[in-house]
């Protein structure tokens, strides 16, 4: 059984993913950060916070399909 805490992390992550795909990166980052406030070790949320910050500074093209393309190692 999943704890209530983990359920909330998953809900916030799902909300963040929806906003991310809509290119609403600041709002998405807030959801991922709230998930991390509950579970600081949530790896996927950490990854998406970083991606959101990057895309907020350097947005993808208008026809972006939601797929992350790494430009630097």
CA distance 73 to 61: 21
CA distance 23 to 2: 30
User: Two tokens at 41?
Assistant: 């070790």
Note the pLDDT tens digit of each residue in 19-41. Answer: 999 999 999 999 999 999 999 99
* Cα within 13 Å of Cα(34), Cβ side: 16
pLDDT band at 71 (very low <50, low <70, confident <90, very high): low
**b vs e for 18-41, b when ≥16 Cβ sit within 10 Å of the residue's Cβ?**
ebbeeebbeebbbbbbbbbeebee
pLDDT band at 72 (very low <50, low <70, confident <90, very high): low
């Amino acid at each position: 059984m999943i704890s209530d805490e983990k359920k909330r992390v998953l809900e916030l992550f799902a909300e963040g993913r929806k906003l991310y795909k809509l290119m609403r990166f600041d709002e998405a980052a807030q959801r991922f950060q709230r998930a991390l406030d509950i579970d600081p070790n949530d790896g996927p949320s950490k990854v998406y916070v970083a991606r959101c910050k990057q895309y907020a500074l350097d947005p993808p093209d208008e026809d972006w399909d939601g797929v992350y393309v790494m430009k630097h190692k």
